[in-house]
Amino acid sequence: FTASLLLGTTMTISSNHWVMAWAGLEINTLAILPMISKSHHPRAIEAATKYFLTQATASALLLFSSMINAWQTGQWDITQLTNPTSCLILTSAIAMKLGLVPFHFWFPEVLQGTSLTTGLLLSTLMKFPPITLLYMTSPSLNPTVLTFMAILSTALGGWMGLNQTQIRKILAFSSISHLGWMTIIISYNPKLTLLNFYLYALMTTATFLTLHSTKASKLSTLMTTWTKAPALNAALLLTLLSLAGLPPLTGFLPKWLIIQELTKQDMA
């Protein structure tokens, strides 16, 4: 299944035609579904169902937007998406795929239903193709909508994360907020989006793997990890702080650059 995942991702990334992109996304969705429902737990099945429904909707919307564009402009090229309506629909489709507010409701529950490694894949690998698509179409997207969604994501991710006890849900919300950061800068400097994504992927991978090795899935379990693997616990601390964006750590870099870019655009 991992092979099909990789196939799907590569297809989407390297595509030039909308249908190719769509196909790659569909392969991804289908490939990860069995991985989500591997444990045959009712919650996993529920997560799989939710995931499938949202992703299917999103892919349909994607196709729909590309068709509108094709109908209006005759173009199937990804970088030439110029019709405003299709841009809007595309934005919402990608938001649904990524998990941006107001299309984020599925994300925490899906992440909670899977095991930690699958959750890792969901957070990092599955985000990659949609972000690539955004990157490619970034010049023609509507900044207002993007900014609106991004700000809401950042805020909501923070607020919702406060009230959680399950670590996977917390990580889901952290992912939502990071996505917010990524989206806000995409109309002005897409490279920063990519930088943010790479660093985020790195940090989240570290976090997920650490949590996986200590088998901590709840905050109460997390409390006692220091007895099992003290060094790893300390490393986890630093990684989490980096995720939060504390200055001397790496996580601060994308935030700083994004804010600088936004200030230049008079939006700070």
Nearer to other proteins among residue 54 and residue 154 (C-beta): 54
Strand partners, 17: 77
Nearer to other proteins among residue 75 and residue 142 (C-beta): 142
Coil vs helix vs strand at 30: helix
Q: For other proteins, what does the binding mask look like between residues 160 and 189, x meaning CB under 8 A?
A: x-xx--------------------------
Restricting to residues 29-68, which ones interact with other proteins according to CB under 8 A? 49-50, 53-54, 57, 61
Structure-block tokens of residue 176: 């939502």
Structure-block tokens of residue 190: 């897409």
Q: What are phi and psi of 134, to 5 degrees?
A: -60, -45
b/e per residue, 182-219, with b = 16+ CB within 10 A? bbbbbbbbbebbbbbbebbbebbbbbbbbbeebebbee
Find the shortest distance in angstroms from Cβ 92 to other proteins: 5
Find the shortest distance in angstroms from Cβ 146 to other proteins: 11
72 and 86 in contact (C-beta within 8 Å)? Answer: yes
Q: Does 143 bind other proteins (CB under 8 A)?
A: no
Find the shortest distance in angstroms from Cβ 229 to other proteins: 31
Find the shortest distance in angstroms from Cβ 35 to other proteins: 20
Tell me how far apart the 2 most distant CA atoms of the chain are, in Å.
63
Among 268, 167, 254, smallest CA distance to 208 is for 167
Q: Does 85 bind other proteins (CB under 8 A)?
A: yes
Find the shortest distance in angstroms from Cβ 84 to other proteins: 6
Q: For other proteins, what does the binding mask look like between residues 86 and 125, x meaning CB under 8 A?
A: --xx-xx---x-----xx-xx-xx----------------
Q: Does 234 bind other proteins (CB under 8 A)?
A: no
Among 159, 219, 263, 265, binds other proteins (CB under 8 A): 159
Could you tell me if residue 92 is left (phi over 0), alpha (psi between -120 and 50 degrees) or otherwise beta?
A: alpha
Nearer to other proteins among residue 27 and residue 61 (C-beta): 61
Query: Which residues have a Cβ under 8 Å from the Cβ of 102 and sit 6 or more positions away?
Result: 149, 152
3-state DSSP helix/strand/coil % of the chain, to nearest 5? 80, 0, 20
- Contact footprint for other proteins (CB under 8 A): 49-50, 53-54, 57, 61, 84-85, 88-89, 91-92, 96, 102-103, 105-106, 108-109, 142, 145, 156, 159-160, 162-163
